[in-house]
Structure 1
Amino acid sequence: MSTDSTSLKLKKEIEEAADFLPLLGTDYIELYVGNAKQSALYYQAAWGFQPLAFSGLETGNKQSASYVLVQDKIRLVLTSPLKEGGPINRHIDKHGDGVKVVALWVDDARKSYQETVKRGARSYMEPKSIEDENGEVVLSGIHTYGETVHVFVERKNYHGAFMPGFKPWNPAYQPEGTGLKYIDHMVGNVGWNEMGKWCEFYAHVMGFAQLVSFDDKDISTDYTALMSKVMSNGNGRIKFPINEPAEGKKKSQIEEYIEFYNGAGVQHVALATDNIIETVKKLQQRGVEFLKVPSTYYDTVLDRVGQIDEDLEPLKELGILIDRDDEGYLLQLFTKPVLDRPTMFFEIIQRKGAKSFGKGNFKALFEAIEREQKLRGTL
């Protein structure tokens, strides 16, 4: 996947963003998992990801095995340790399976590192160049909330499958995709009173601007509450909502996440589609489980959001939620946690002009989450 510096001419969408890096998009998300081979099969079979590249014993990597999967512009890297001890084992022991690396595609990884570290970012990886017969990739990295890190990836001089150290992975099993296009946003859960600190980190260290904020009046039910702010880079390709708990009568989903993840981390990844009805149908048929809102949600939803292009009945049948802002409307649906610990889940989203995040659905959504919490005994 090669690019050139003309990529930098992306239109600036968020004028308030300093955008001094700048970022071209999400390069990949890396999860540390207990069994990468089996996790890869899950994301292929259930989610329609295609095999792309592999690193492990066969490529000379004696420390870990990594499987790279792709669907349109989304790249997942699933990594497991091959020996006891070490940082990957410690991460899995503490957090369970979870997102370790949110890798950001840049035109200049050295400059991205210098710009962020001089503004106070803690170094994770000093700039390094890795090469093979397909060219060069430059990597650098910084720490963010919890044990999550951002790796800056410069690949304009690389033409291989993924990056040096990986070989193409071409197994017989190559399932059909489910219509997922790109990462719309990634949500981070942080501890009590930490949201402001991390929003300031993204503003000062990375040049992001705040798109929108929600307080406990916007995001609350009879039992639980949370606060959220959405940070975006200048071209709008990278959006990071940051959530923190707020006082409620019972344990919120954020508190449950932090308890089981043992700290801050990536709560969910929102994946965009151009046809949410077809995508959700395919995912359900392959075993992906979604949260359900009561059917009464659909009795008044069109009074709230107005006319939409889709028939309401298939949306109701699949449990897809609808919301509108000044720019248009969106359709969204959330999976149940995809791991044994009630931590990470996915959102499927289709935007029909809307730039927002479904504020009108929060109450119905969080009541659905509370019903699941009650079943788990963690509410």
Structure 2
Amino acid sequence: MAAPARRLCHVAFHVPAGQPLARDLQRVFGFRPVAARAAGGWRQLALRSGDAVFLVNEGAGPAEPLYGLDPRHAVPSATNLCLDVDSAGAAARALAARGCRVPVPPVRVRDALGAATYAVVRSPAGNLSLTLLERAGYGGPFLPGFRAVPSAPGPGWVSHVDHVTLACAPGSSPALRRWFQDCLGFHHLPLSPGEDPELGLEITAASGRGGLRLTALQTPPGSAVPTLVLAESLPGTTGGQDQVEQFLTRHRGPGLQHIGLYTPNIVEASERMAVAGGRLLTPPEAYYQQPGKEEQILAAGLEPRLLSRRGILLDGDKGKFLLQVFTKSLFAEDTFFLELIQRRGATGFGQDNIRALWQSVQEEGARAREA
């Protein structure tokens, strides 16, 4: 591996001036602002919930925003994963030696509370870039160059980033898997027994036509980097584009499709977010009427009607359960969304849940076309 990552520092977004992402993260999802910066035509705001940190870069300056790279992308987008590394300089040199593009060579930034060094590398996944950050010993609320923003403690609905999912062009997952493996130290995480890393996990639609191919990657034990999931469409979808194809079209290429945020209490979090105006995706009614689903939910100590009211999906058995709920897109372009996830011993992503999400998005798309 060229640049082993230790942990995720933050996820960065690029949005035009006036786009309400920063407001919605606070009002709907319980994030609180911790640090800000305004310079060179950019307004940068770091928001936190637990260990999950989002950096919203708003505007479009003549120079690059601090700790990132402006991809000059046509639509609002989650554009950057910032990863802690032991040495930003050594990591950048190692990746450049592998042929990676390093548009922002190592830069050192200092303020009264310490210093940090970073470099930015382009990934082969659409407009996604990777910031390699070295910040040992920095004592500020976020990173050098930002001022602290006083704010009240957040509600604590979200504790950390569980996973990030990239929407990929058909057939590109194997090459992307090898790039993240060779360059950043990720390795294949099987989602089913005996899974071939070249094929990933195939989730077919209920109709048997089309579906998803998922390939999960994780870093070695001891690091705190979330699981990375590569998602691509399977051929054969009928009745219009599926959600990955729709993302590729509306986002104008591959990119970060959604982030899974871990919550210790998904029922409370989804209730509070709905009250705050959050728009949650509604699973098909048949999901909760599947044979054995009610018994499965009761075995987890939960009420079926409570889950169905908020669209919470549950999968698992033998005392290990996974609960998930998905938001609608945070952008008008209907691209990026968030997921809330709670794990009770389960480590995968729930094949039945993935299939239900697939079907619900397809049904919502059909309703939108009919409207």
TM-score (norm 2): 0.87
Partner letter of residue 164 of structure 1? P
SS at match of 1:205: helix
- Alignment CA distance shift 1:137-1:254 (3 Å): same
Partner letter of residue 34 of structure 2? L
Alignment of 1:184-333 (within 5 A): 184-212=162-190, 217-222=202-207, 224-235=210-221, 237-247=225-235, 248-249=237-238, 250-299=240-289, 300-302=292-294, 307-324=299-316, 328-333=320-325
Q: Deviations over 1:262-307 (max 9, x none)?
A: 0010000000011111111111111111111234422331556782
- Alignment CA distance shift 1:219-1:362 (3 Å): farther
Partner letter of residue 300 of structure 2? I
Alignment of 1:131-142 (within 5 A): 131-142=110-121
Partner letter of residue 81 of structure 2? V
- Give the superposed CA RMSD: 2.6
2:38 aligned with 1:49: no
Distance 1:192 1:307 in 2: 38
Distance 2:63 2:135 in 1: 31
SS at match of 1:198: helix
Distance 1:151 1:131 in 2: 17
Distance 1:333 1:276 in 2: 8
Distance 1:35 1:365 in 2: 32
Distance 1:84 1:119 in 2: 30
Between 316-325 and 128-137, report the one with greater CA deviation.
Answer: 316-325
Deviation at 1:330, TM superposition (A): 0.8
Distance 1:89 1:130 in 2: 18
Distance 2:54 2:333 in 1: 20
Deviation at 1:193, TM superposition (A): 1.4
TM-score (norm 1): 0.85
Structure 1 residue ranges (4+ consecutive) displaced by more than 6 angstroms after TM superposition? 84-90
Between 262-271 and 223-232, report the one with greater CA deviation.
Answer: 223-232
Deviation at 1:225, TM superposition (A): 1.8
Distance 1:217 1:161 in 2: 42
Partner letter of residue 301 of structure 1? K
Between 293-302 and 351-360, report the one with greater CA deviation.
Answer: 293-302
Q: What residue number does 1:23 align with?
A: 5
Distance 1:253 1:221 in 2: 15
Any conservation in 1 of the 2:25–2:31 contact (CA below 8 Å)? Answer: yes
Distance 1:54 1:202 in 2: 31
Q: Deviations over 1:298-349 (max 9, x none)?
A: 2331556782133333222222111116782111111111111121001100
Deviation at 1:184, TM superposition (A): 0.3
Give the % identical residues. Answer: 22
Deviation at 1:23, TM superposition (A): 2.4
Deviation at 1:362, TM superposition (A): 2.1
Any conservation in 1 of the 2:205–2:359 contact (CA below 8 Å)? Answer: no
Between 214-223 and 308-317, report the one with greater CA deviation.
Answer: 214-223
Deviation at 1:361, TM superposition (A): 1.4
Distance 1:192 1:154 in 2: 35
Q: Deviations over 1:12-34 (max 9, x none)?
A: xxxxxx6x743222101110011
Deviation at 1:185, TM superposition (A): 0.4
Q: What residue number does 1:371 align with?
A: 363
Q: What residue number does 1:104 align with?
A: 83
Q: What residue number does 1:162 align with?
A: 142
Distance 2:175 2:77 in 1: 22
Any conservation in 2 of the 1:26–1:238 contact (CA below 8 Å)? Answer: yes
SS at match of 2:171: coil
Distance 2:89 2:262 in 1: 30
Partner letter of residue 279 of structure 2? E
Q: Deviations over 1:165-205 (max 9, x none)?
A: 2111226xx47425100000000011121111101111122
Any conservation in 1 of the 2:204–2:211 contact (CA below 8 Å)? Answer: yes
SS at match of 1:126: strand
Distance 2:155 2:258 in 1: 20
Deviation at 1:44, TM superposition (A): 0.8
Which structure 1 residue ranges, 5 or more long, are not aligned? 1-17
Deviation at 1:140, TM superposition (A): 1.5
Any conservation in 2 of the 1:45–1:175 contact (CA below 8 Å)? Answer: no
Distance 1:32 1:370 in 2: 27
Aligned length: 352
Any conservation in 2 of the 1:337–1:344 contact (CA below 8 Å)? Answer: yes
Which structure 2 residue ranges, 5 or more long, are not aligned? 192-198
Distance 1:169 1:238 in 2: 27
Distance 2:136 2:202 in 1: 46
Between 124-133 and 260-269, report the one with greater CA deviation.
Answer: 124-133
